[in-house]
Structure 1
Amino acid sequence: MNAEKVMGDGAQNDVGPVPASLPLNHRFITPEKAVKTISDMAIWEKSEAYMEYTGFIVTLNEAIKGKPLSVDCKVSENVMKIMDMLEKINKLIDEFPPIEQPQRFGNAAFKDWLTKVKSITTVMLQETLDLKLHLAIPEIKIYLEESFGNATRIDYGTGHEMSFVMFLCCLYKIGALQAEDNVATVFMIFNKYINIARTLQKTYRMEPAGSHGVWSLDDYQFIPFIWGSSQLIDQPKIYPPAKFLEDDIIDKYADEYMFLSCIKYIKEVKTGPFAEHSNQLWSISAVGSWQKINQGLIKMYKKEVLNKFPVIQHVLFGSLLPIRRFPITH
């Protein structure tokens, strides 16, 4: 990590003080890759970034337990500003329609769309965030820019999804989002992001990044299954869990529960028997409770995504999500 890449410090800047949620001498830095070899995975698994990230997922998982997407929750001004920013990103897709090209997958228009997004993220975040948080933009914008897919390979996968969740985590760390925003962060911001990701996948025929094929939950996403299964805990309408395979249940509740929205999307983009193209989900349907499914998915996520070098080698570490070892308190 090159700590000299300082994006600002509390002592000397004309933008304002460092966010109150951070130490006065906090220095923002450009996030960089730090897991370069398989042996570096041990450093990652004991890092502050790992603990912060997994803790963040579990905290939001708890906040939305048993709640439908339409639940009445607090919607702060900052949440609305982030939603407006995501809508601008979403509308840009219309400006870059797919081009005529010989190959079936990976439409080259995606590169132009992503180049445009990256050219305006700084300005969009300046419009979205309070002036006192602007020092953090050069650090956090990288996570946002990496959330939508890879321009060279024109692919998308769990690493890109992870980058967006890290972006959300950073927004909490700088104080742009608060604990009272937890439900809205998942049900509004993250849900909006997932819908943008699906539009990109379909519009530009994006390849799955590092797909396990039928042995993974989904070619593209994982976290909506975790948070989506938490929504269904103690939810009598979709119980036993095997009901999530029934078309009438999917049609009725896909707009209320992220898990069912995921299943609906899979059924739209894949053909053939569900048990064949989505074997893991088929197996999950036999588990007796949503609580067990939710706990199992968190374990599976750590094992199949967070403990896999091909994913973590692309993760970026900065001052907010550092690679340094998590402090052990006695």
Structure 2
Amino acid sequence: MDIRQVPLSDLEQLETPNPKIRSDQDIRAWQTTRSYGDYAIFLRRLNDSVVGYYLPWSSENPSNAIINTVKLLDTLDSWIDEIPPQETPQRFGNLSFRKWGARLEDKSDELLNALLPSEYSPVIPHLKPYLLTSFGSFLRMDYGTGHETSFALFLLCLVLIRFFKPKPDEERELVLRVFLRYLRLCWRLQDVYKLEPAGSHGVWGLDDFHFLGYIFGSGQLRDQKEIPVSAVLRPPLPPTNLYFMLIMRVHDVKNGPFHEHSSQLHSIAVGVPNWSKVNSGLFKMYEAEVLGKRVVVQHIPLGGLLEWSIPNTETTSTNPKASPLPALASPPVILNGASRMDTDTRTRAPWANNR
């Protein structure tokens, strides 16, 4: 499906985004908004763009928008060298991460002005909140899937204003070049500043820090018949896709048997018959365990480009199954996650009944 375009001339009429989710009812309301549908379409398009494409990735003519976004991430990475971790022992995170975050807050306007052509300058107040929440909490010194989602929404905003073009070649670059560079930056932030997982489910979670890379990586492998899902149990894995890279990252940062510290990833490897079902199941899990959890998404800015306009307040507050998402080709991007929200914090395996 196509992604709508927001004319730059409309920006002055839009509010500046800020956190709006304070309750589970707010999550259900969010699921009725056009911005939620935009994000669903965006993720499906990114996923579909990388099916059958592998790493290392190279292309002849990436757009200036792609090149400059990678340069922005390179700049943020260089700050880590300039702001080394404090040597004094610290139990939760390293205080130097707050210095890194303070520099991001101070220089965010400068960074976005360097990224965008001058005619896009009115969009900076709408992008800045997403950029600032993409790399972790500078107060709590942690990082998690809510911050990763903020970065994906940052990219979506840039598509809505057509800084990035919604076409397969550009979307492939967003995953295999921009998102991969973002992942590497976040890994370095986690390692150097000893960031804590934000809202981790522990052994019952998919990953302490990331989720979208597993979706895109299983998307790369979606039509693959020669590599079984169980291949992930036989490391080392070649860095040919984001799924394998994230599995090897888990091995780098965790000790002990894989089935004990990463039970969900292990259960996928032994119980899911093909990569297509892994891919569709992870979309469902992402909605339930990331977008459907208040503690994960409560700090994500909404409004403005990602409008917070509730079409029917009475319906959304009384009918938890209400969903505005467009009908998409099977498998759906996000399936009525409100109906799966419950008080159990353990991650469900949505593919268990989908074999």
TM-score (norm 1): 0.88
Question: Which runs of 5 or more residues in structure 2 are unaligned?
Answer: 313-323, 327-355
2:260 to 276, 300, 321: 276
**Aligned ranges for residues 80-159 of structure 1 at < 5 Å?**
80-159=67-146
Q: Equivalent residue for 1:167? A: 154
Q: Equivalent residue for 1:29? A: 15
Task: Indicate the SS of the match to 1:29.
Answer: coil
Task: Indicate the SS of the match to 1:68.
Answer: coil
CA contact (8 A) 2:11 2:123 kept: no
| 1:311 Cα deviation from its structure 2 partner | 1.6
The one-letter code sitting in structure 1 at the alignment partner of 2:229 is P
Q: Equivalent residue for 2:220? A: 231
The one-letter code sitting in structure 2 at the alignment partner of 1:35 is I
The one-letter code sitting in structure 2 at the alignment partner of 1:232 is L
Q: Equivalent residue for 1:15? A: none
Runs (4+) of structure 1 exceeding 6 A deviation are 326-329
How many residues of Structure 1 are paired with residues of Structure 2 in the alignment?
Answer: 305
**Root mean square deviation, CA, Å:** 1.7
Q: Equivalent residue for 1:48? A: 34
Provide, for residues 90-116 of structure 1, a one-character-per-residue CA deviation record: whole Å limited to 9, x for no partner: 110101111023333310000001111
**Aligned ranges for residues 180-219 of structure 1 at < 5 Å?**
180=167, 181-219=170-208
CA contact (8 A) 1:229 1:290 kept: yes
Structure 1 residues 270, 204: CA separation in 2 closer, same or farther (over 3 Å shift)?
same
CA contact (8 A) 1:79 1:185 kept: yes
Partner Cα distance (1:299, 1:114) in 2: 32
Q: Equivalent residue for 1:11? A: none
Task: Indicate the SS of the match to 2:213.
Answer: helix
CA contact (8 A) 2:222 2:276 kept: yes
CA contact (8 A) 1:104 1:205 kept: no
CA contact (8 A) 2:97 2:138 kept: yes
Q: Equivalent residue for 2:347? A: none
Partner Cα distance (1:293, 1:222) in 2: 13
Question: Which runs of 5 or more residues in structure 1 are unaligned?
Answer: 1-19
Partner Cα distance (1:129, 1:246) in 2: 44
| 1:312 Cα deviation from its structure 2 partner | 2.3
Partner Cα distance (2:72, 2:58) in 1: 22
Range 99-108 or range 197-206, more displaced: 99-108
Identity of counterpart residues, as a percentage? 37
Partner Cα distance (2:25, 2:65) in 1: 40
Provide, for residues 301-323 of structure 1, a one-character-per-residue CA deviation record: whole Å limited to 9, x for no partner: 00111111112221211211112
Partner Cα distance (2:153, 2:253) in 1: 27
Q: Equivalent residue for 1:294? A: 279
Partner Cα distance (2:232, 2:121) in 1: 43
The one-letter code sitting in structure 1 at the alignment partner of 2:255 is T
The one-letter code sitting in structure 1 at the alignment partner of 2:117 is D
CA contact (8 A) 2:145 2:210 kept: yes
CA contact (8 A) 1:114 1:151 kept: yes
Partner Cα distance (1:46, 1:318) in 2: 13
| 1:41 Cα deviation from its structure 2 partner | 1.9
| 1:326 Cα deviation from its structure 2 partner | 6.3
The one-letter code sitting in structure 1 at the alignment partner of 2:297 is I
CA contact (8 A) 1:156 1:208 kept: yes
| 1:236 Cα deviation from its structure 2 partner | 4.6
Partner Cα distance (2:8, 2:302) in 1: 18
Provide, for residues 141-175 of structure 1, a one-character-per-residue CA deviation record: whole Å limited to 9, x for no partner: 11011100001110000110000000000010111
Partner Cα distance (1:146, 1:43) in 2: 22
Provide, for residues 196-236 of structure 1, a one-character-per-residue CA deviation record: whole Å limited to 9, x for no partner: 00000010110000000011111000000000100112235
